[in-house]
């Protein structure tokens, strides 16, 4: 059911969901709010996103676009190059306000991707969920997201999203083993760095390192390994997030169950198509899927 925010614009009711879903939200929402200003960036997130958007450009040009988890508005200009019919939704009010300030007049709303009931059925030709935003909810919430996207997409409509790769060492990593995630404007790829520990292996007194240790200890109990998918503390923002990870095979099977056919896959580290049947080693991946008629 749609509700109305203070600006009089339609938005979407937050889904409370199960206790586990609530606990993931309780961890992730405050982190997004705290770091909102870091998302005042523009440009491609990585080579894989460039490859994926180029792959779909001719097919979706001019069609109505839904940009889920648009954050501070990095993707607004990119997607408006494809279509003037643009709608952005994010569940973090601070990020929505940042996006509005950076892109005046653009239709962006506070809403939750798990409840798209405020949008008409089959009303969008392209749905985008970038920056691994779909991973910010738990597994049950993810199924709600996929069902809602299938409902609002036109027949043969395109769904483009990125998701963390469970077959990469970032799944289950801790502050001593994870590469540092650096949110650099124009590139969301992790920046290789030396370990934050001292030469004798003891932690340094760097405040970010200490915060990462504390966050990881606080959140490690949320870790789940269900084979093709899992939940775990994520290295970004000093391990301040709990995120969903999935294998490529698991993602393809999940999309199939929700009525999608996978059209193309790109690793985050390459703008060329991922070769089918080859292992996916990238830290995260971009999938292009079509809604079955």
Q: Is residue 209 part of a domain?
A: no
Q: Say how far apart CA 126 and CA 56 lie, in whole Å.
A: 9
Residues of the domain holding 60: 2-165+244-291
Specify if 285 maps to a domain: yes
Count of the separate structural domains present in the chain: 1
**Band of residue 9 on the pLDDT scale cut at 50, 70, 90:** very low
Residue 210 lies in a domain: no
d(CA 188, CA 65): 23
Domain contains 190: no
Nearest to 135 by CA among 251, 52, 43: 251
In a domain, 49, yes or no: yes
Q: Express each pLDDT in 119-133 by its tens digit.
A: 999 999 999 999 999
The answer as to whether 170 is a domain residue is no
CATH number (domain holding residue 261): 3.40.50.150
Mean pLDDT score across all residues of the chain: 85
In a domain, 219, yes or no: no
More confident residue, 181 or 280: 280
207 class by beta-carbon count within 10 Å (0-12 exposed, 13-18 middle, 19+ buried) = exposed
Look at residue 263 and tell me if it is in a domain. yes
pLDDT digits (tens, 9 = 90+) for 115-172: 999 999 999 999 999 999 999 999 999 999 999 999 999 999 999 999 999 999 999 9
């Amino acid at each position: 059911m749609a509700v109305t925010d203070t600006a009089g614009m339609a938005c979407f009711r937050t889904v409370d969901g199960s206790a586990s879903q609530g606990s993931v939200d309780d961890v992730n929402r405050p982190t997004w709010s705290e770091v909102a200003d870091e998302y005042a960036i523009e440009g491609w997130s990585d080579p894989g996103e460039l490859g994926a958007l180029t792959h779909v450009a001719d097919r979706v040009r001019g069609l109505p676009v839904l940009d889920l988890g648009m954050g501070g508005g990095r993707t607004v200009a990119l997607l408006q190059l494809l279509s003037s019919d643009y709608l952005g939704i994010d569940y973090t009010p601070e990020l929505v306000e940042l996006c509005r300030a950076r892109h005046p007049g653009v239709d962006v709303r506070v809403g939750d991707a798990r409840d798209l009931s405020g949008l008409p059925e089959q009303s969008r030709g392209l749905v985008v969920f970038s920056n691994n935003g779909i991973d910010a909810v738990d597994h049950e919430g993810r199924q709600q997201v996929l069902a809602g996207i299938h409902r609002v997409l036109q027949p043969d409509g395109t769904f483009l999203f990125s998701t963390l790769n469970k077959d990469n060492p970032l799944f289950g990593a801790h502050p001593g083993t994870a590469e540092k995630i650096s949110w650099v404007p124009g590139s969301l790829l992790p920046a290789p760095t030396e370990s934050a520990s001292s030469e004798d292996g003891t932690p340094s007194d760097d405040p970010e390192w200490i915060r990462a240790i504390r966050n990881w200890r606080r959140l490690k109990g949320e870790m789940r390994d269900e084979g093709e998918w899992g939940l775990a503390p994520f290295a970004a923002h000093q391990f301040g997030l709990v995120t969903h990870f999935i294998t490529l095979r698991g993602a393809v099977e999940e999309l199939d169950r929700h009525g999608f056919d996978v059209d193309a896959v790109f690793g985050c580290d390459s703008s060329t198509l991922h070769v089918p049947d080859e292992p996916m080693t990238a830290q995260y991946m971009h999938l292009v899927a079509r809604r079955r008629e």
